Amino acid sequence: MHYIILDTDFLIKSMEMKADIIEFLDLNIGRPYSIIISGPVYYELGMIGKRKSKEGGYARVAKIFLEKINAEVMRTREKYGDKSIVELSERLKEKGKVYVGTLDRELIKKLREKGIHVITLKHMGRIELM
């Protein structure tokens, strides 16, 4: 089983750029996989979604997308997005291969040091596996 953990900015930018996350995962990772969101990331999407801005609109679309694909929201001890993602990736690494979708350079560095695969979004909505 593969575990795909997505962070807030990755989700919002993917919605903005109309990047097809599922197609990318099917072609590059293969099934079976489980898409997971940490509790703090889900909460953050909700808070951003309350804003009356373009970013708020994309956050609302991201939440609808997550519900549509039956993404699992997992609790973490950590209360902040990036730290919760690191915690989840370390926990799930014992069960299978873990990939994290993020745009955060510091988080990418931490994950790569821990041997976690990173998925990122490039120019014009192209998703890339690092």
pLDDT tens profile 56-79 = 999 999 999 999 999 999 999 999
Determine the pLDDT at residue 73. 96
Q: Which regions of the chain are under pLDDT 70?
A: none
Quick one: tokens of 17?
């750029």
Give 106: exposed, middle or buried? Use CB within 10 Å, 0-12, 13-18, 19+. Answer: exposed
Determine the pLDDT at residue 102. 95
> Are the CB atoms for 91 and 114 separated by under 8 Å?
no
pTM of the model: 0.93
Determine the pLDDT at residue 81. 84
Determine the pLDDT at residue 57. 96
Quick one: tokens of 128?
């890339």
Amino acid at 100: V
CATH number 3.40.50.1010 is the correct assignment for the domain at 2-129: yes
Determine the pLDDT at residue 29. 92
